[in-house]
Structure 1
């Protein structure tokens, strides 16, 4: 969530009991340094940094996060072996985002401490061979012995309970946090998420150059769906007009299918507290309804 996952949003997540994550995919490391320091003014809770490997290619990023006193890093969108050994040698905990079983096994072999297993329902950049969380999550959990965080399609207590039933130990929310009160994006995008149906995202660039991606359906993304562009990255030239100016046609609004289940803009604290409450109710409800099932 380049330009979005900064101190304002990440601190709200950490203060509510989650793990706030600061982005580096914008490439604005001087600004990111300031955001990390701002985080420490806004929260005394743990937080981490994401290194999007496709966009952050300078090995100096390792020393950057070490110098800033970061203890937890997620890596994504690239080869997990690139920085893992150096990050681990510096004493950091590293989780890698994976879209396939093969990617998960490669990351575990590289020495990561845990995985973020992301199904194709999620918004953002995707593997062109998409696999839904309902298939990918239990598959990966059955093959690895590291902690797994579920991503892609998770937004509340019921989906968190489902993730735990499939082997996860936590969930990651993208679109749900994107549409929170503390999210810095323009209200036009938040309102578009609230108004969206479950069918109002598109899976783009399948078979094109570069990664696939899931985004909200707009005139721009409908065009890209019909005609694959020469370079999908060119479609992001106006990203800041979209994010902060509210022009929904200026770039590609990366959004997950879970937009169809989001019906209001809430504070981060309310989202997290309701998720934990409803998770407990879902688990207790299943136990009360079905008890101990014996063959």
Structure 2
């Protein structure tokens, strides 16, 4: 069994975390991942109100007695969600693990820590990870350039970002972006991470609440079928390559601004992709890891399979090295 600082501190069996994905991180998926020995994550802002989040947490608690967390993504917005209310629901619910992402989480980390809640902060660079460590995060999730969603503006892939993080950090960290199987977990551990965070891979599971058409689209896609949008606005986002994402890139390449594409990228359109199964209906996020996805298994089975395969890969490498030394 693979034991790391992350599994020990967060009380899970396998060093595998389900990313907090908008519209995807619901109770059924989070519970299935946790029941499989990983760490499932409910996405707070998928729920329209703090009251709905409280109900979703209770639904998840009814489905698993294992640890699970809640993602709270912080964005700069003219009309931001009532973050303090969502935060209080998390505290009152008794959830003991939170994943924060987006803008500066300092205020939220302070409140969560006052209630003995462990915080994982999602980062896209070593410098941001070091700040998360300074303000009291218990762990960080490092997003490489391969990741879906917002991978930052540094364009550093995991092969460099993971060992750079290992050299700089004292707290546990998990690697995110490009992971879909046991080979990836083994590689991440070898590079110095304490586990992996997967989003796209968990989209293609039985319990994932997205339309079957989208799951099949991911299975049939390659690593080339993603599109980077908002590069010109320095708010890079990796999304599925479709007619909408290509139109957004074309408009911005011609000097357009956000106001010129805001209707194309509206979150309501992306949500309809997942609900109705039309991959051309809007912008939806997916990582290059889709090029490694070949099936749609139960989430708990996937967790065990990846952990077992990673352990086998690491043992195989150990035997190869031992045999090579013996021969020489």
TM range (shorter): over 0.9
Flag the 1:113–1:293 CA change in 2: closer, same or farther, 3 A.
farther
Please tell me whether residue 289 in structure 1 is matched to residue 320 in structure 2.
yes
Q: How does 1:198-209 map to 2 (within 5 A)?
A: 198-208=223-233
**1:245 corresponds to 2:269:** no
Which residue among 97, 101, 107 is the counterpart of 1:82? 107
Matched, 1:215 2:215: no
* Unpaired runs of at least 5, structure 2: 1-20
Distance 2:209 2:97 in 1: 23
| Paired position in structure 2 for 1:32 | 53
| 8 Å contact from structure 1 (residues 242, 253) kept in 2 | yes
CA distance in 1, matches of 2:83, 2:118: 20
Question: Structure 1 runs of 4+ off > 2 angstroms?
Answer: 55-62, 225-234, 291-294
Is the contact between residue 214 and residue 274 of structure 2 (CA under 8 Å) also seen in structure 1? yes
Partner residue in 2 for 1:267: 298
Which whole-Å CA distance do the structure 1 matches of 2:201 and 2:306 have between them? 11
Per-residue CA deviations over 1:41-61 (Å, capped at 9, x if unaligned) read 111111010110116553233
Secondary structure of the equivalent of 1:75?
A: strand
- Which residue does the alignment assign to 1:131? 156
Tell me, yes or no, if the aligned pair for 2:53 and 2:86 is still in contact at 8 Å.
no
Structure 1 segment 65-76 matched on structure 2, within 5 A? 65-76=90-101
CA distance in 1 between counterparts of 2:139 and 2:322 reads 31
Structure 1 equivalent of residue 9 of structure 2: none
Q: Is the 8 A contact 2:206 2:296 kept in 1?
A: yes
Tell me what 1:120 maps to.
Answer: 145
| Cα distance in 2 between the residues matched to 1:274 and 1:137 | 23
SS at match of 1:266: coil
Shift of 1:119: 0.7
Show CA shifts across 1:46-77 (max 9, x none).
10101101165532333221101110111001
Show the 5 A alignment for 1:50-65: 50-54=71-75, 56=81, 58-65=83-90
DSSP-derived class of the 2:116 partner: coil
Aligned residues: 293
Q: What is the TM-score when the length of structure 2 is the normalising length?
A: 0.85
CA contact under 8 A between 2:25 and 2:42: conserved in structure 1? yes
Superposition deviation, residue 92 in structure 1 = 0.6
Residue equivalent to 2:68: 47
What is the aligned partner in structure 2 of residue 111 from structure 1? 136
Deviation of the 1:80 alpha carbon:
2.8
8 Å Cα contact 1:95/1:112 also seen in 2:
yes
- TM-score using structure 1 length: 0.94
Q: Which one has the bigger helix percentage?
A: 2
**Equivalent residue for 1:182, pick from 193, 199, 207:** 207
